[in-house]
Amino acid sequence: MRIWPERATGELEQMDLPDCDARKLENTYRQFGHINRIVSGWRQLYVNELRPVLSAAPASILDIGSGGGDLAVMLARWAAKDGLAVRITGVDPDPRAAAFALNRPPTRGVDFRQAHSAELVGEGAAFDVVISNHVLHHLGTEEFNNLLAHSDVLARKKALHNDLRRSPLAFALFGVATLPLQNSFIREDGLTSIRRSYTAAELSALTPPGWTVEPGAAFHQVLALRKDGHER
């Protein structure tokens, strides 16, 4: 399959603009829950990667760039259904995302705060697992390297950064599937995200020793760091 030759790093997502439409931004955060449940592959990652770690309770997860908080809530509910004790902390430096997450109905075992991963490193924090969802393609080179460095410090057992994999087919399918979604940035920003995302070869070329690029759900890939024998 033909792949676009270069990442569209010059394209910006509308929701990242400080003066974007506030109503559409709130709808975007609200719709993320449906999108992530369907396309991001976290159920498989939960079963294969997170649940074995959570069985050694109490366990902790850090969700970096947690946005509106839907992933943290979804993981907490799956863990509760499985009878597992987990504390999930979602952090996002964007005050708008943090505010939306903090205003969600409380979910047992989930906390949100407006913060950058560097702040948690400075605090000496540590978590069993560090995760992110659809964050990598947003980052410049320095931010990318900092995220991996911070994840290495903050994660006791493993870090999993789940992101899109650039593909014209993904672009076409997402464009059609999201046509019904109105009054949000889901469709236009999602298409931009696909154009900005990495191929597996591109991501591997940026990956420092110890990290691996692994297949994820359809049109997704996971940048993983595993410690102390915590394999797949």
Q: 217-227 pLDDT, tens per residue?
A: 999 999 999 99
Q: d(Cα 224, Cα 214) in Å, to the nearest integer?
A: 7
- pLDDT number for residue 1: 42
Residue 232 placed within a domain: no
Asked if the model's pLDDT at residue 2 lies above 80, the reply is no
Cis peptide before 208 (omega within 30 of 0): no
Residue 200 lies in a domain: yes
Is the pLDDT assigned to residue 197 strictly greater than 70? yes
In a domain, 212, yes or no: yes
Whether 70 maps to a domain, the answer reads: yes
Residue 148, helix vs strand vs coil: helix
Q: What are the pLDDT digits (tens) for 33-52?
A: 988 999 999 999 999 999 99
The model's pLDDT over 84-123, given as tens digits with 9 standing for 90+, comes to 999 999 999 999 999 999 999 999 999 999 999 999 999 9
Query: Is residue 7, in this structure, part of any structural domain at all?
Result: no
Alpha-carbon gap, residue 109 to 79, rounded angstroms: 10
Give the integer Cα–Cα distance in Å for 63 and 60: 10
- Return the CATH number at 73: 3.40.50.150
Q: How far is CA 120 from CA 63, 123, 125, 132, 138, in A?
A: 12, 5, 5, 15, 20
Number of domain units in the chain: 1
Burial of 200-223, coded b for 16+ CB within 10 Å and e otherwise, reads: eebbeeebeeebebeebbebbbbb
**Structural domain range at position 50:** 14-226
Confidence of residue 4 (pLDDT cuts 50, 70, 90): low
Residue 231 forms part of a structural domain? no
Amino acid making up residue 22: A
| pLDDT tier at 56, thresholds 50, 70, 90 | confident
Whether 92 and 120 have beta carbons less than 8 Å apart is answered as no
Tell me if 176 is assigned to some domain.
Answer: yes
Tell me the pLDDT tens digit for each residue of 137-158. 999 999 999 999 999 999 999 9
pLDDT band at 191 (very low <50, low <70, confident <90, very high): very high
What the block records as the tokens of 130 is 């560090």
pLDDT at 231 over 80: no
- Contact 53/157 with Cβ under 8 angstroms? yes
- Any alpha helices (H) in the chain, and if so which ranges? 22-39, 42-45, 51-54, 70-81, 95-102, 117-123, 141-154, 168-177, 186-196, 200-206
For 22, phi then psi, to 5°, come to -65, -35
Task: Determine, yes or no, domain membership for 1.
Answer: no
In this structure, is the dihedral angle defined by the CA atoms of residues 53, 54, 59 and 65, taken in order, positive or negative?
positive
Global pTM?
0.94
